[in-house]
Amino acid sequence: TCIQFNPIDDRYFISGSLDAKVRLWSIPDRQVVDWSDLHEMVTAACYTPDGQ
């Protein structure tokens, strides 16, 4: 499992997990706002410097 905070907008972070999902979380809303299902477990995730 991994997480990284958005470098531009600190209201969001991404997480990757062993269930093969990458999730975008909203901290103010305390919920997942988007996700992607992948084919393999996610052990690393990162934003680009511009927050993408």
pTM of the model: 0.88
Which pLDDT does position 30 carry in this prediction?
A: 98
8 vs 17: CA distance, rounded Å: 23
**pLDDT tens digit sequence for 27-49:** 999 999 999 999 999 999 999 99
Question: Where is pLDDT greater, at 52 or 20?
Answer: 20
Q: Where are the domains of the chain?
A: 1-52
Q: Are 14 and 45 in contact (CB under 8 A)?
A: yes
- CA 6, 8, 9 angle in degrees (round to 5)? 70
Which pLDDT does position 31 carry in this prediction?
A: 98
Which pLDDT does position 17 carry in this prediction?
A: 96
Q: What is the mean pLDDT of residues 7-22?
A: 96
